[in-house]
Structure 1
């Protein structure tokens, strides 16, 4: 358990607590949003294998992290939490634009990150898929990155939020540590400067943000965990092939 963040955060009635697991990209989203809005919070590391009572009580439906506790009331799911923070603390830096149409566009691309990019990316490493299915998943991942490259190119200022970090930047930013660790652990480069130069430049800008640095887990730890996970996936795939 550790205190984190440096901002107003409100008094005792506004106490913010985040339940999470250190390597979760979804936790990165929440911590990034809190940092960007300058909100103080307490972070509680959850042993997912043990499913601590506090997590089960806070999120009895999905039993997953992250969970935000605001004055003791739980808010679940990373992007729901991010939007909640934006509404609950409107005086802090806004992550969603004021214009209704621009908000709808931001929500569309934030959902696209999970619905298309993440789903395809996970399929590349699914031990239960055939090589043809994995190739299709890789093509889906690259198509999603191409679409995000196009969306970023329509924004002035270098961020999906325009001149400042917005909802889509937070949604995609959660996966930056895993993107950076992908090539040294699996040989697959997620963001290729030759194919998506705007996204590659965006990743560099993101990693330079102080709020992002404070939200992301140590890279060496992510790298170590990624190598182990990939080795386990390869072993599972080999075992499945041997049973055929």
Structure 2
């Protein structure tokens, strides 16, 4: 039987991506909680380039970076629903939107929530431009890939859950139904799906953890 371990953090949306993929596929695994402020020798050894979570250990072999891990899980375990589409074109499209989320949307959103003054105004404008693109892509769709949760939806978990809590904590709101009706409809559909709802981190615990992080940065 294959040995599967996941080095991660309960509060990390990147770790949760991998956990959800493993659960979708019905893969048994051991979760190893990492203290990202005091990284373990196993983490540093398993991901010597980026020294970050998550890292999947499959029979002792490490795979790093959440997007790479999701594809690895989909290719390695055939049981359970597919995470990526079957056709090469649709897979390429899914990879494009996943990278757009990670490289454009998430950094812009974080900046908009963590800065103030004129810098925040500019950051919010940039974030909203990226979110408009996502909103347009979701027009007429239940999920990014169609009727079921897939690769891009799992990658977008930060927008669907973490971002809502962060906006409340910092006292700002720019992901609204008025501005982004399709994106907000997707958020509601995603977080209320039985599978996702079952595996979301506790809201109050996550809010407390994020609040403590923000206070440290002040």
TM-score by length of 2: 0.92
| 2:10 corresponds to 1:26 | no
SS at match of 1:75: strand
Aligned to 2:60: 72
| 2:100 corresponds to 1:112 | yes
2:169 aligned to which of 171, 176, 185: 185
Instruction: Kindly provide the CA deviation profile for residues 40-94 of structure 1, in whole angstroms up to 9, marking residues without a partner as x.
Output: 2111101222211111111111111011111111100111111111111134311
Aligned to 2:181: 197
Aligned to 1:152: 138
Aligned counterparts of 2:104 and 2:192: Cα–Cα separation in 1? 26
Aligned counterparts of 2:174 and 2:32: Cα–Cα separation in 1? 30
Cα offset, 1:175, TM superposition = 4.0
Structure 2 CA distance for partners of 1:175 and 1:45, relative to 1, 3 Å: farther
* Equivalent pairs, count: 218
Computing the radius of gyration from Cα coordinates, the structure with the larger value is 1
SS at match of 1:183: helix
Verify the 8 A CA contact 1:27 1:174 in the aligned structure 2. Answer: no
RMSD: 1.8
Aligned to 1:217: 201
| Structure 2 spans left out of the alignment, 5+ residues | none
Structure 2 CA distance for partners of 1:215 and 1:74, relative to 1, 3 Å: farther
Aligned counterparts of 2:195 and 2:42: Cα–Cα separation in 1? 27
Cα offset, 1:231, TM superposition = 3.2
Cα offset, 1:114, TM superposition = 1.0
Verify the 8 A CA contact 1:124 1:135 in the aligned structure 2. Answer: yes
